[in-house]
Amino acid sequence: MDFSSFLTSLGTSFVIFLVLMLVFAWLSSRPCNHVIYYPNRILKGLDPTVGSRSRSPFAWITEALSSSEKDVISMSGVDSAVYFVFLATVLGIFVLSAVVLLPVLIPIAVTDDGIKNAKMNNTQSVGTFSELDNLSMGNINLRSNRLWAFLLATYWVSFVVYYLTWKAYNHVSALRAEALMTPEVKAEQFAIIVRDIPPVPEGQTRKEQVDSFFKNIYPDTFYRSLIVTDNKKVNKLWEELEGYKKKLERSEAVFEASKTEAKPEGVRPTHKTGFLGLIGKKVDSIEFYSEKINELVPKLESEQKATLREKQKNAAVVVFNNRKTAASAAQNLHAQIVDKWTVLAAPEPRQIIWPNLYINFIQRQVRQYVVYVIVALMIFFYMIPITAVSAVTTLDNLRKFLPFLKPVVNIGAVKAILEAYLPQLALIIFLALLPKLLLFLSKTEGIPSEGHAQRAASGKYFYFTVLNVFIGVTLSGALFRTFKSIQKDPNSLVPLLASSLPGSATFFLTFVALKFFVGYGLELSRIVPLIIFHLKKKFLCKCEADVKDAWTPGDLGYGTRIPGDLLIFTIVLCYSIITPLIVPFGVIYFGLGWLILRNQVLKVYVPSYETYGRIWPHIFNRIIASLLLYQLTMFGFFGVKKFYYAPILIPLPIISLIFAFLCHKKFYRSFANTALEVARNDLKEVPSMEQVFRSFVPPSLSSEKVDDDHFEDARSQVSRTGSFV
């Protein structure tokens, strides 16, 4: 890529961002689009445009900057606030790094002549991006004393990471404690999940077994237990019933809309009962769906009874009338053998993955290792297509493999755009296919909650992208550029790689620019969700429930968003010393991300679950992994530069591991479990324990008859009450 292509990439990306920002300002001001740009506020009953009556195209920037952490928590929860702690921490790392790297390293690099000497010695491939290479560590001569500055800068960046991540861990820990100390009643704080329950003793029921076990241990605070059941069949009936209820509501809305002054009796909707409503007998929709509902209700009630009596599993939800007892129980060992009476803190009821609760201990261990092997194989074999994408999606290879495109790609403007965007777009699209598969694999492990599964998938996705995108593109790019030279002189491999690695930064400069300008521009403008909503509203929505389903935005998508951000962090960190010019790109990416996503979290996204910051230890571990990769990369690069003092960097990875160990020991326990000093705080009102208990009953098993006897087969009787904390 030449310098003009690089400037074309930056310029066009910036213009696209400005256009999308203006489009956002225009579209968001129209009342018909408020459900797309302010759904979070609308769902909370707030005025979408309060405080913004006289809007300028940039009013949202002021609103985002003036918002506080408490505003974020009140609108989108603690997890969102923790995400912004992460963005602010990484932004701080790059800003403090840039203070030293830009004014010190760039002048040192640009005044040397390493690339010129390499070309004279035929160790520099032709056509490299020499304009930017001159600003990088690649322009430093071998064994030069100038490398001391780069070595000391490596230490500077590392200690900046240590300092800011330590502060962030402290801050997030305080946020989590404050959220858990709230006087509001949260059902999950009164309950635990019990797995691996032993076989039922003769003469007892499963309910009696669980009740007697926990009553003996917690006689004053045990409330009730709910035995987990196999709900596959009852879920199917319940979903079918809910589907018919929605169809009935839609049909009634269509019928009401058909009533006019000219025809006050209206036209009753009809449909065919065959495949996709295209074939079969034509029936009155309202009557048909009403009959189906009347048929399914008794079937569902009968299946509920059968499920609760006959399909009980070796897991249960145990509810206490005391938050402190529940927190203590979640941390205690309840059986001598660890694969019996396994206990963990209950997640939010909406997060529970019920089928995973009754997977036994041995199966969970086996599944976990099998999934790890599958993911490892995916990472290894995915390298092949990633490398192919990196190699094939270049202009020269397109001309070679698709000769009929030559007349098009030789046009100056087209050539510049293709060089600037083609490899990056191909890579981004390629990676978009992956997250759902990793989430499926994570749930297959037997993970009990949605939040935990998202964290596990996020970790897999991060390591996948780092190993295949960062390392894969860097090494494959260097090898492809120097392959012919290596064939002629195999001994030139090391110096060729040394001179070629800085050139890979060019790919990542444009990759990062494309992500923050175009990616965040699309995020802010929400053009795709807007188009989809209006198409659904015009052609598919028949009632208010349909319209609401069409505009409900979902959550921020931490499972994919955080790994994507961490990939950018890894790229910028690892190239920060080699090519300091990449650091401002990291600053822009995370600064712009903080600003735009602040707006989106306050106005758009609605969290689907809350873990009170449980994601932070996982983010921290990935930051440390990126830091280690950065330190090892620099050690290796100093080696190929033949700098005799490179071993001075050896203590850095050791310091990083010690730092991570200390943070884990100091903070992690309070994230894995709720501290008792946090759980002991008083509630502002006496909780309704029956309401707490019933919140854990799956929707398909809920019954309006609270005292219906058949439900007591899987739900224990109320125990005596104790104190409420």
Sheet with 222-229, edge to edge strand ranges: 222-229, 312-320, 191-195, 342-345
Q: Is 724 inside any structural domain? A: no
Per-residue confidence (pLDDT) for residue 624, from 0 to 100: 97
Residue that is last in its domain, among 280, 314, 347? 347
Q: How many angstroms separate the CA atoms of 444 and 437, rounded? A: 11
Please indicate, yes or no, whether residues 128 and 261 belong to a single structural domain of this protein: no
DSSP helix/strand/coil, 225: strand
Q: How many angstroms separate the CA atoms of 610 and 357, rounded? A: 19
Domain membership of residue 233 as a residue range: 188-347
Per-residue confidence (pLDDT) for residue 418, from 0 to 100: 58
Please indicate, yes or no, whether residues 628 and 671 belong to a single structural domain of this protein: yes
For the chain, what is the total number of helices (H) and then of strands (E)? 33, 6
Residue that is last in its domain, among 419, 445, 471? 445
575 CA to centre of own chain: 24
Q: How many angstroms separate the CA atoms of 389 and 385, rounded? A: 6
Q: Is 717 inside any structural domain? A: no
Q: Of the candidates 44, 153, 53, which has an alpha carbon nearest to the alpha carbon of residue 103?
A: 153
Q: Is 450 inside any structural domain? A: no
Please indicate, yes or no, whether residues 375 and 230 belong to a single structural domain of this protein: no
Residue 420 identity:
A
Please indicate, yes or no, whether residues 432 and 573 belong to a single structural domain of this protein: no
Cβ atoms of residues 330 and 343 within 8 Å: yes
Per-residue confidence (pLDDT) for residue 401, from 0 to 100: 55
Please indicate, yes or no, whether residues 11 and 54 belong to a single structural domain of this protein: yes
Question: Crossing angle of helices 78-110/582-603, nearest 10°?
Answer: 160
Is the pTM of the predicted complex or chain greater than 0.85? yes
Residue that is last in its domain, among 347, 370, 386? 347
Please indicate, yes or no, whether residues 310 and 391 belong to a single structural domain of this protein: no
Please indicate, yes or no, whether residues 209 and 161 belong to a single structural domain of this protein: no
Per-residue confidence (pLDDT) for residue 490, from 0 to 100: 56
Q: List, as one string, the DSSP characters of 303-361.
A: HHHHHHHH-EEEEEEEEES-HHHHHHHHHS--SSSTTSSEEEE---GGGB-HHHHTS-H
Per-residue confidence (pLDDT) for residue 541, from 0 to 100: 86
Per-residue confidence (pLDDT) for residue 329, from 0 to 100: 95
Q: Is 705 inside any structural domain? A: no
The conformation of residue 519, written as its DSSP 8-state character, comes to I
Q: Of the candidates 451, 416, 585, which has an alpha carbon nearest to the alpha carbon of residue 77?
A: 451
Per-residue confidence (pLDDT) for residue 487, from 0 to 100: 56
Structure tokens at 424: 């990056």
Low-confidence residues of the chain: pLDDT under 50:
53-54, 123-129, 493-499, 706-710, 719-724
Residue 662 identity:
L
Beta bridge partners of 272: 282
Domain count along the chain: 3
634: Cβ contacts below 8 Å, ≥ 6 apart: 150, 154, 577, 578, 649
Q: Is 674 inside any structural domain? A: yes
Q: Is 706 inside any structural domain? A: no
Q: How many angstroms separate the CA atoms of 261 and 241, rounded? A: 35
Please indicate, yes or no, whether residues 153 and 221 belong to a single structural domain of this protein: no
Please indicate, yes or no, whether residues 29 and 108 belong to a single structural domain of this protein: yes
Per-residue confidence (pLDDT) for residue 58, from 0 to 100: 78
Please indicate, yes or no, whether residues 570 and 494 belong to a single structural domain of this protein: yes
Per-residue confidence (pLDDT) for residue 289, from 0 to 100: 93
DSSP helix/strand/coil, 449: strand
**Longest Cα–Cα distance in the chain:** 94
Q: Of the candidates 503, 501, 506, which has an alpha carbon nearest to the alpha carbon of residue 423?
A: 506
H or E, element range at 82: helix 78-110
Structure tokens at 622: 């990935």
Per-residue confidence (pLDDT) for residue 54, from 0 to 100: 47
Q: Is 124 inside any structural domain? A: yes
Please indicate, yes or no, whether residues 516 and 389 belong to a single structural domain of this protein: no
DSSP helix/strand/coil, 195: strand
Compute CA distances 447 → 116, 199, 368, 442, whole Å.
56, 22, 9, 7
Q: Is 495 inside any structural domain? A: yes
Please indicate, yes or no, whether residues 177 and 192 belong to a single structural domain of this protein: no
Per-residue confidence (pLDDT) for residue 411, from 0 to 100: 66
